[in-house]
Structure formats: structure tokens, C-alpha cells
Amino acid sequence: MILVGLLLLVTLLLAYANGANDNFKGVATLFGSGTTDYRKALTWATLTTFAGSLSSVFLASLLLKRFSGKGLVPDSLAASPEFLFAVGLGAGVTVLLATLTGLPISTTHSLTGALVGAGLMATGGQVHLGVLGSAFLLPLLVSPALAAGFSTLGYRGLRGLRIRLGIDKETCLCVGKTAPPAVIQIGQSSVAVGAADVSAPAIKVGSVQQCQTYYTGTVLGIRSQMALDTAHYASAGMVSFARGLNDTPKIVALLLVVQGLPLSRGMLLVGLAMAVGGWLNARKVALTMSERITPLNPGQGFTANLVTGLLVIVASRLGVPVSTTHVSVGSLFGIGLATGEGNRRMIRNILLAWAVTLPVAALLSALIWLAVG
């Protein structure tokens, strides 16, 4: 009974860590493109992620079965509270460590590594590596490449559509301490120049806070910028909803052995823990996702979110364990590739963190199994 109680606490810890590392990923483009501020973006992420968590009980049952460990390790071990405790704690600590350093890693990858590490230690090597490769690792490796490719193509396609529709970009060049912009038309583009302190001008170009891109023109009688902002919010909500839908059943799978806990209540508890984790500890990963991978304007942010949301929702419905992190960050990689403005050092650091996630989680869960198994 005590171990079952500890398993529940460890599951909530993993959910908290997941929220802290993952919740902001769906709205990072809203904040990074200057469409809204941090607190509003976080509120939208929290609400839509929680809605996805609640919906997962109806829409993502295949993921619940897959992350119970059955098929990867013997069924008797997968139903062991000691085994699930080692898996949950190993994965949770891995995600927490990454969150503290501001690196966006995959809870899916952490859980996979923890299942392997505890499984190898508990069975003496009787882990079905064929299942590991086809059902777990292949989707995790392919998903960021797909996201980057679709994001690059999607951005170029939507950019071409914008030009054909006659929608122009308007960029602010701010001069002075505060600069209400005046728009100057130059050919097909509009440049906004503001001057508030002519005696001692200070020119800043490219600051997200002071220099933002806007879109002029109309689409079906609606102002282009308003239509884009609305679509951007909707796509961010879709990504966050998809993340809640995709990640909640993977974590709740640890609670399948808890007698007397209805599945719906487990989903609710995990969803609440994810919401609290995101609300309290998302800022470091939020800054990485929003500002340190690639500069974003609203159109680029919308494209990245649209690709991420569609890929994750389709994968969740099919029971394919893609990582929302790998897909969302892969989409940002694609935008950086298309614009040539990706931060190579940060991208390299993130890829390195992804490479060590699975072995770190495996090592931690193996050590924990030795202590409790």
C-alpha cells in the first residue's frame, strides 16, 4: 500500500515536470513573435493543455496501453508497482534536470529510456528490442525530421500565398527612447519609422519588443494582421491541446496498477499536475523556445504551430508515440532553415540533450530499481 502511494506521488511528480518542460511549447511562437506577452501565452497554454488532458481518456487509449510497458517487458513485470515506480522516478528526475537548465527535452523519450533501463535491470536483458525500435525509437527519430521538412515547405508555401494575395509586410525601425511609428510606403513594402527623441537618437533594429513585423491588406474583408493573429492563437491552442492529448495517457499508464483509481480520475490528477508545473516553472524553457532557437514573426510562428498540431494530433489518434517536443522544436528548426537565421549553437545543445535523454533516464531508472526491486 505504501509503495502504491509512492507510485501515485512519483506519477504526479513526472506530470509536474512534464508541465514545466512542455506546457509552453505550444505557445512559444505567440510569445517569441511578439503576438502576446508571457503571462497571456501561458494562460492560453494551461487552459488548452488541460482540455487535451481531459479529452485523452476518449481519444488516446492506444498510447495508454503502449506506455504501460506491456510488449516491451514481460506482462508480470509491467504490472509491478516497484517497476513502475522506478520508471516514473527515473523519467521524472530526467525531465526536471533538463527543465532547470532550460533545455526542451522529450518526456516520451524519458519514459522510453526509463522503461528500458528498469526493464533490463529487472529481467537480466529480457527486453524486446524489436518492439523498442519499431514502436518507440523509430517514430521518435523520424518525427523531428518530418516536422522540420513540413515546416520549411509550409512556410515557403504560405509566404508565396501571401505575396499572391497582395499582403505586404510592415517592419518597425524604432528611433529614440519611445517611438510611435509612422508608416512610409516603399514599393510593395511598408517601413515604419518612429522618432521620439531627436536630440539624442538611439536606433534599434530587430528587437522583438521594439521592432515587430505586421501585415497589411485584407483577406475576405478581414484585416490580414487580425486574421493571422486569430489563426496563430488557434494553432497554438491546437498544439497545446494535442500535447495534453498525447502526453497525459503516457503518464497515466503508470497508474494502471492502482486499485480503486478510476481512469478518468487519474487523467484529471495528471492534467492538474501538468497545469501546475507549467504555471510555476515554465519560464526557462519558454525563453529557449521563444527567443533562442530562431527569430520569429507572426507568420512564421503560425506555420510552425500548424505543422506541429497536425502531426501530433494525427499521431495521437493512430497511437504512434511521437514526442511533442521533437515535433514542436523540429518545426522551429525548419523555420530557421527556411530563413537562414537559426541559432546553430542552441540547436546543437538541444540535439545533444535529446541524444542523452534516453540513456540518462535508463541509468536512473536502473539504479532506482536496484534500490526498490
Q: How crowded is residue 346: how many other Cβ atoms within 10 Å of its Cβ?
A: 17
Which residues 6+ apart lie within 8 Å of 161 measured at CB?
none
263-300 tens-digit pLDDT: 888 899 999 999 999 999 999 999 999 999 999 888 88
- DSSP state for residue 261 in the 8-state scheme: -
> How do residues 197-218 score in pLDDT, each as one tens digit?
444 444 444 444 444 555 555 5
Higher pLDDT, 263 or 103: 103
User: Where exactly are the structural domains of the chain?
Assistant: 2-162+241-372, 169-216
pLDDT confidence tier of residue 52, bands split at 50, 70 and 90 = very high
190 vs 120, more confident: 120
Task: Output the pTM of the full model.
Answer: 0.80
pLDDT band with cut points at 50, 70 and 90 for residue 160: confident
Confidence tier at 75 by pLDDT (50, 70, 90):
confident
